[in-house]
């Protein structure tokens, strides 16, 4: 059996396709082969389980370190792989990029295109652009490497304006945005962990832990008169969008994504497809609200936007952001007024009017925990009133 730890001994090995193997422990072997006299040589690992099944893995050349250190580096890599297999890990080497792509595929098959496309966008923007991370074997992922990615992502400014100015306006990333991007990568890693591609979550369990209190309470509340004022000061096409937001507790993006086919006039049911909730959900509308949507849907193609801009195009954040601010200024509303403020205001009214939090969560497409976190404090008056009724 050859002595692979000695450089001169390795240099004298026969040139052949089958590696020269050296036993490290029971069922565990380290191999080395050279296909040409001038090549650096490739290191391999071979593992035999209790049932006698053998698996091999290429470890690489380790050409970036001195020849005298390559054996120790290869041995360390092989032993890490043996440990991974011993814990039930899969033999296949999976990179961070592959783990993310597989998770997107899984989400697309089980939750639909909308959440899958969102994940794909986040991975392309924040993970795949970091080649050092994207091409890294999951088994070699470290807490330090993940923390480095998190810091770089957190420190990357985002553009506020999307016009063609030579000097773009930027701002620091919000903690809530950072949490959402980390959640995507954390989910991909956890999925790979469940699949056995990696046997420990130590590299990301703490490094990708979300920042606390990043999603603070929504402070801008518009009462009904203020909502009417905002709608009255908006253009006709924007007013239709704002009126819809004032009647159903949906995210602006979800309302903008509605098509004529999303509304069933016969049953007065609105189907919400594009939303953070992932899956389609249906809302039974009251008579007056249904009549409004029926008016917008009348005599139009099923694939057309239900609430469109003047040019017939669908609304998006960039299209409504400026006009909403202008309408808010004309109505003398708080400067921080946004389209999302309508959703917040509607949810606030539903909670304070006594609707149970589960139903509120289902209507708004979020979790009960999220409703409790942001709106649970509004139930204090209801609790006090209930206690008052206990007076003897």
Which domain CATH number covers 49? 3.30.160
Q: Is residue 293, in this structure, part of any structural domain at all?
A: yes
Q: Are 295 and 243 in contact (CB under 8 A)?
A: no
pLDDT at residue 172 tops 80: no
| CATH number, position 280 | 1.10.443.10
- Same domain for 185 and 112, yes or no, is yes
List helix spans (H) across 131-286. Answer: 131-134, 143-155, 175-194, 224-232, 236-247, 252-256
Q: Return the half-sphere exposure (C-beta side, CA atoms, 13 A cut-off) of residue 53.
A: 4
Least confident of 37-51, 90-104, 228-242, 376-390: 376-390
pLDDT at 165: 54
**What DSSP string runs through 58-81?**
EEE--TTS-HHHHHHHHHHHHHHH
Look at residues 194, 211, 243 and tell me which one is the last residue of a structural domain.
194
* Model confidence band, residue 113 (pLDDT cutoffs 50, 70, 90): confident
Residue 161 has pLDDT above 60, yes or no: no
- Its pTM stands at 0.56
Give the lowest-confidence range in 302-311, 354-363, 372-381: 372-381
Residue 69 forms part of a structural domain:
yes
Question: Do 189 and 288 belong to one domain?
Answer: no
- Of 173, 194, 215, the domain-final residue: 194
Tell me the two tokens of residue 335. Answer: 């400067």
Kindly tell me if the per-residue pLDDT of 120 is higher than 60: yes
Domain range for 348: 224-388
Q: Are 71 and 155 found together in one domain?
A: no
pLDDT at site 51: 78
C-alpha–C-alpha distance, residues 4 and 20, integer Å = 8
In this structure, the answer to whether residues 116 and 44 fall within a common structural domain is no
> Residue 298 is encoded by which pair of tokens?
């009348």
Same domain, 270 and 374: yes
The Cα–Cα gap between 272 and 254 comes to 7
65 pLDDT more than 80: yes
pLDDT, tens only, 223-246: 999 999 999 999 999 999 999 999
Residues 56 and 108 in one domain: no
Quickly state the pLDDT bin for 307 (edges 50, 70, 90): very high
| 31 close to 18: Cβ distance less than 8 angstroms | no
Which is nearest to 178 in space by CA: 201, 202, 148, 209? 209
161 and 43 together in one domain: no
- Tell me if 42 sits within 8 A of 61, measured CB to CB: yes
pLDDT exceeds 80 at position 217? no
In a domain, 304, yes or no: yes
Least confident of 50-64, 174-188, 299-313, 333-347: 50-64
Residues 58/44, Cβ–Cβ less than 8 Å: yes
H or E element in which residue 322 lies: helix 317-330
Q: Are residues 145 and 13 in the same domain?
A: no
């Amino acid at each position: 059996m050859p002595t692979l730890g000695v450089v001169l001994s390795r240099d004298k090995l026969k040139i052949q396709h089958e590696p020269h193997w050296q036993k490290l422990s029971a069922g565990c072997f380290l191999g080395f082969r050279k296909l040409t006299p001038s090549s650096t040589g490739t290191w391999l690992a071979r593992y035999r389980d209790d049932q006698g099944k053998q698996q091999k893995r290429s470890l690489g050349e380790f050409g970036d370190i001195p020849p005298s250190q390559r054996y120790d580096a290869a041995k360390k890599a092989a032993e890490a792989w043996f440990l991974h297999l011993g814990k039930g890990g899969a033999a296949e080497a999976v990179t961070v990029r592959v783990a993310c792509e597989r998770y997107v595929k899984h989400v697309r098959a089980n939750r639909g295109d909308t959440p899958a496309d969102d994940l794909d966008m986040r991975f392309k923007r924040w993970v795949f652009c970091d080649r050092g991370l994207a091409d890294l074997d999951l088994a070699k992922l470290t807490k330090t490497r993940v923390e480095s990615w998190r810091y770089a992502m957190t420190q990357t400014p985002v553009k506020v304006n999307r016009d063609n100015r030579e000097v773009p306006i930027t701002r620091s990333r919000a903690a809530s945005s950072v949490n959402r991007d980390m959640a995507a990568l954390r989910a991909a890693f956890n999925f790979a962990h469940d699949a056995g591609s990696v046997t420990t979550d130590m590299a990301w369990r703490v490094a990708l832990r979300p920042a606390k209190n990043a999603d603070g309470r929504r402070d801008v509340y518009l009462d009904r008169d203020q909502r009417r004022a905002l709608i009255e000061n908006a253009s006709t096409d924007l007013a239709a969008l704002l009126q819809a937001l004032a009647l159903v507790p949906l995210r602006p993006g979800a309302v903008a994504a509605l098509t004529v086919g999303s509304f069933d006039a016969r049953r007065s049911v609105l189907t919400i497809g594009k939303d953070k909730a992932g899956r389609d959900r249906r809302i039974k509308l009251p008579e007056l609200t249904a009549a409004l949507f029926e008016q917008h849907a009348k005599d139009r193609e099923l694939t057309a936007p239900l609430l469109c801009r003047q040019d017939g195009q669908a609304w998006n954040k960039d299209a409504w952001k400026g006009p909403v601010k202008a309408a808010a200024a004309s109505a003398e509303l708080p400067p921080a007024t946004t389209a999302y403020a309508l959703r917040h205001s509607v949810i606030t009214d539903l909670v304070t009017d006594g609707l149970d939090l589960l139903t509120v969560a289902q209507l708004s497409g979020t979790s009960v925990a999220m409703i409790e976190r942001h709106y649970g404090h509004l139930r204090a008056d209801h609790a006090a009133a209930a206690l008052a009724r206990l007076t003897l």
